[in-house]
Amino acid sequence: MNEFAIATRDLVKEFKTNREVITAVDHVSFQIEAGNTYGLIGPDGAGKSTTTRVILGLLSRTDGESRVLGFDSMRDMYQIRERVGYIAQQFSLPPNLTVMENMRFFADVHMVSPENQKQRIPELLSFAGLSDFTSRLAGKLSGGMKKKLALACSLVHEPQVVMLDEPTLGVDPVSRREFWSLLGNLRAEKGLTIFVCTPYMDEAERCTRVGLIYKGRMIVDDTPASIKTKIPGHLLEFSPSVFAPAIQLCTGMDGVLEVQTYGDKVHVFVDDVPSRRAQIESSLDAQGISHDTPREIEVRMEEAFISLIRREQESSLEETVLPQPPQSSGARR
Amino acid sequence: MQLNFQRLTALIRKETIQILRDRRFILLFLGLTFVQLFVYSYSASRTVYHLPMAVVDQSRDPSSRALIQALVNSQYFDATVYMDSEAQARQAIDLGQVKADLIIPPHFAADIDKGSANFLMILDGSDQFAVASGYNAASLVAQNFGLQLTAESLARSGGLPAESSGASLPIVASAQVLYNPDLNDRWFVLPGIIGMILQTLAIEQAAIFLVRDREWGTLEQILATPIRQLELILSKMIPLLGLCLLALGMSVGLGVFWFGVPFQGSLWLYFWLSVLFIASCLALGLLISTRAMTQFEAETSALIFMLFGLLLTGLFYPRIGMPLIPQLIGDLVPLTYFLRISRGIYLKGIGLNFLWNDALVLVLYILVVVFIVSKRFRMRLD
């Protein structure tokens, strides 16, 4: 496992409460090669943050193995912390220090020499677009700027690996895009290994490799492109006038593999596009449900994600309720 | 255990900036010191003067009037009201109009001549300090009064030269009270109160400090850096130590210049032993904060030590009279040791040769508590 930037094998993390033992991370294994961007995706409470924290040694490990740059998460906790940049999920820089004081603080605790600080801090601040805000209190920055400051602070010691726990949570779309382009530059220029937890599927598409985690278990671990090809069939999209009957109608139909909802649209996975499109249209017409013409669309991570989670739910046979979209909660810690 | 100077100074600088930037906190901190010092000092007087007294004088002769005058002259009693019967006077106590009744039976002067005079003093037992003061004062006054009468009658019978009344008694006890010649309660109480205030502030602030990082979420980000445990612990203690020393300086200054309690000993020694005391309180506070998950929990736990400090350390109530278990609990409170140090240096002016054992206990206390904190506080979130 040592040649990988980050690697886990059968990683287990249990939380003990008074009444029960909750398995937040259940035998998760993956490897990340140096220089890659790895996205750990999954619904809220799937175990993404817990996995990240255990890898960093911020939480104790119940079982299994986890290493960063060859260092064991538990035994070599400080060696890891010296070489890794981390952004916690919630904003957690000291809010009553200014931007500059925060940068200096994190540089000092990572033992960056004063000469290096003089060069690197202005560089990072301009890279993060914070040069004009050096004397502003961190707590008074906007959501996007806070995240950029956190990124700048986590990079001040030139880490080989950064681990970002939902770095764009609560950030507007423009800032999100900016944040990701910063990450892209870093990877290109410095060969940084990036580990990112995210519930956003568009962010997952930017990763070289994606791990889908659900209820503490790793469901798939592959490139975004090959994850999408794992979903059988073709995808048809249409908007019906009434929702529930249309879904009911499609669900039982021959050749329909899966039905999902997407906003005011219905997504139907079918084995063959032309014949099933006609079949769906005629059934809807027969029921008097007005609709637009079903179009074939490309399978995105979102659909793949829902489909994979649904199959996981069905195979585990634990769920008696209807499958739920990824926005709603899965297993909660 | 690794200690890196750059990391430690960065952490201390961060904590100091955070404290200095919180104006309200500093004002509250120093303001609380100020208020506590005044409230405790002015309220801590345990001698009660001018107790309102009902007088039932059934004798009405020169001797009974002399007795009443003697009691009033002692400053401990005021003859507030004259009444006719003991029952009336008792009712006055029931109603809270007076704290004491003086009942002088008929034929007081005649009884004195026979040598069998007595008078009755009734005290309001629901008021502890009034009883204690009144009881002592009444006994003392009666004793003096009696002595004086004895001397006078001796003189009259020619046994003694009768130059003036009660001129010379065979034995005169001349007691000298050291360190506090006027028996001023405030003198006795002030050095202890300074310790009490410091202990309260230090424990409470240290208890909150780590919890606040946890509540803000900054603890997670700080733990993700290579900061070592001892560095984190020290960085929490050192800025608060500075703040507590500021409060100490302020308290001693007020004690000397406002309350007029002269500082007898070495300020330098007092400073260093106070550093030990404050550090032990801060360590105790950090111990609380390793357990407490919220500020409320931390503050409530800190309150318990304030209570122990007030009641079990000898601040107001002597430890000698306490049962074993309260004494043992008192042994766990740093103030117990600092009280002897503070009173010793401040009032008596004694040196380390008398105080070394208390100082040693404080050093051990710090080491043990910091050790427990380091065992309890893992550099992890769970």
Tens of pLDDT, residues A51-92: 999 999 999 999 999 999 999 999 999 999 999 999 988 878
Same domain, A141 and A195: yes
In the predicted model, what is the mean pLDDT of residues B197-222? 86
Task: Name the band, by pLDDT with cuts 50, 70 and 90, for residue B318.
Answer: confident
Strands (E), A139-270: 161-165, 193-198, 209-214, 217-222, 234-238, 256-262, 265-270
Same domain, B288 and B208: yes
Same domain, B150 and B224: no
Decide if B189 contacts B41 (C-beta within 8 A). yes
- In total, the C-beta contacts within 8 angstroms joining chain A to chain B are 79
* Contacts with A149 (C-beta within 8 Å, 6 or more apart), sequence order: A93, A99, A102, A103, A128, A130, A138, A141
Q: Is residue B30 part of a domain?
A: no
Q: Is residue A189 part of a domain?
A: yes
| Inter-chain residue contact B218 with A92, CB threshold 8 Å | yes
Q: Is residue B12 part of a domain?
A: no
Query: Which range, A135-139, B21-25, B326-330, is most confident?
Result: A135-139
Task: Name the band, by pLDDT with cuts 50, 70 and 90, for residue B126.
Answer: confident
Indicate the residue among B126, B161, B178 that finishes a domain: B178
Task: Name the band, by pLDDT with cuts 50, 70 and 90, for residue B368.
Answer: very high
User: How many helices (DSSP H) and strands (DSSP E) are in chain A?
Assistant: 11, 14
Q: Is the pLDDT of residue B24 over 80?
A: yes
Same domain, B157 and B213: no
Strands of B77-82's sheet in order across: B77-82, B51-57, B100-104, B120-123
pLDDT for A168 equals 84
Q: Is residue B319 part of a domain?
A: yes
Looking at beta carbons, which residues of chain B come within 8 Å of A77? 379
pLDDT for A330 equals 36
Q: Is the pLDDT of residue A319 over 70?
A: no
Same domain, A106 and A210: yes
| B22 at A interface, C-beta within 8 A | yes
Looking at beta carbons, which residues of chain B come within 8 Å of A150? 221
Looking at beta carbons, which residues of chain A come within 8 Å of B9? 108
| A61 at B interface, C-beta within 8 A | no
| A97 at B interface, C-beta within 8 A | yes
Please state the three-class secondary structure of A292-328 as a single string. Answer: CCCEEECCCHHHHHHHHHHHHHHHHCCCCCCCCCCCC
Same domain, A70 and A217: yes
pLDDT for A329 equals 38
| Inter-chain residue contact A111 with B11, CB threshold 8 Å | no
Decide if B347 contacts B181 (C-beta within 8 A). no
Q: Is residue B242 part of a domain?
A: yes
In the predicted model, what is the mean pLDDT of residues B262-285? 94
Comparing B1-15, B50-64, B120-134, B348-362, the range with the smallest average pLDDT is B120-134
d(CA A104, CA A112): 9
Indicate the residue among B129, B158, B178 that finishes a domain: B178
Quote the minimal CA–CA distance from B280 to chain A in Å.
27
Looking at beta carbons, which residues of chain A come within 8 Å of B380? 57-60
The mean pLDDT value of chain B amounts to 85
CB-nearest to A60 from B221, B226, B382 is B382
Q: Which two tokens stand for residue A204?
A: 């997952």
d(CA B355, CA B360): 9
Alpha carbon B325 to its chain centroid, in Å, reads 21
Q: Is the pLDDT of residue B114 over 90?
A: no
Query: A135 versus A228: which is more confidently predicted?
Result: A135
Half-sphere exposure of B29 (CA within 13 A, CB side): 25
With pLDDT > 70 as the criterion, what percentage of chain A qualifies? 94
CB-nearest to B381 from A58, A91, A93 is A58
List the 69-88 stretch of A: residues with Cβ below 8 A of B: 77-78, 81-82, 84, 86, 88
Task: Name the band, by pLDDT with cuts 50, 70 and 90, for residue A271.
Answer: confident
Q: Is residue A265 part of a domain?
A: yes
Q: Is residue B4 part of a domain?
A: no
Query: B173 versus B199: which is more confidently predicted?
Result: B199
Comparing B44-53, B178-187, B262-271, B327-336, the range with the smallest average pLDDT is B178-187
Q: Tell which residue, A194, A127, A185, A134, has the closest CA to residue A159.
A: A194
Q: Is residue B263 part of a domain?
A: yes
pLDDT for A197 equals 93
pLDDT for A29 equals 93
**Strand A193-198 to A37-41 pairing:** parallel
Strands of A295-297's sheet in order across: A256-262, A265-270, A234-238, A295-297
Q: Is residue B24 part of a domain?
A: no
Indicate the residue among A211, A227, A243 that finishes a domain: A227
Q: Is the pLDDT of residue A114 over 80?
A: yes
Q: Is residue A320 part of a domain?
A: no
Same domain, B115 and B257: no
Q: Is the pLDDT of residue A40 over 50?
A: yes
| Inter-chain residue contact A111 with B7, CB threshold 8 Å | yes
Same domain, A125 and A240: no
| B380 at A interface, C-beta within 8 A | yes
In the predicted model, what is the mean pLDDT of residues B307-334? 85
With pLDDT > 90 as the criterion, what percentage of chain B qualifies? 25
Q: Is residue A71 part of a domain?
A: yes
Same domain, B162 and B216: no
Same domain, A164 and A268: no
Closest chain A residue to B223, measured at CA? A58
| B24 at A interface, C-beta within 8 A | no
Q: Is residue B241 part of a domain?
A: yes
Q: Is the pLDDT of residue B168 over 60?
A: no
| Inter-chain residue contact A58 with B380, CB threshold 8 Å | yes
pLDDT for B361 equals 94
Q: Which domain holds residue A288?
A: 232-298
pLDDT for A149 equals 92
Same domain, A189 and A253: no
Quote the minimal CA–CA distance from B7 to chain A in Å.
4
Number of folded domains in chain A?
Answer: 2
Q: Is residue A154 part of a domain?
A: yes
Same domain, B169 and B190: no
In the predicted model, what is the mean pLDDT of residues B110-118? 81
Same domain, A39 and A183: yes
Comparing B141-145, B177-181, B374-378, the range with the smallest average pLDDT is B177-181
Task: Name the band, by pLDDT with cuts 50, 70 and 90, for residue B241.
Answer: very high
Q: Is residue A246 part of a domain?
A: yes
Looking at beta carbons, which residues of chain A come within 8 Å of B18? 94, 96-97
Mutation target vs A (from B15, B209, B223; most A CBs, 10 A cutoff): B223
Quote the minimal CA–CA distance from A240 to chain B in Å.
46
List the 180-239 stretch of A: residues with Cβ below 8 A of B: none
Closest chain A residue to B16, measured at CA? A97
Same domain, A93 and A199: yes
pLDDT for B172 equals 60
pLDDT for A328 equals 39
Q: Is the pLDDT of residue A323 over 70?
A: no
d(CA A110, CA B16): 19
Q: Which domain holds residue B119?
A: 51-178
Number of folded domains in chain B?
Answer: 2
| B234 at A interface, C-beta within 8 A | no
Burial class (CB in 10 A: 0-12, 13-18, 19+), B281: buried
Q: Is the pLDDT of residue B271 over 90?
A: yes
Same domain, A219 and A109: yes
Q: Is residue A105 part of a domain?
A: yes
d(CA B230, CA B233): 5
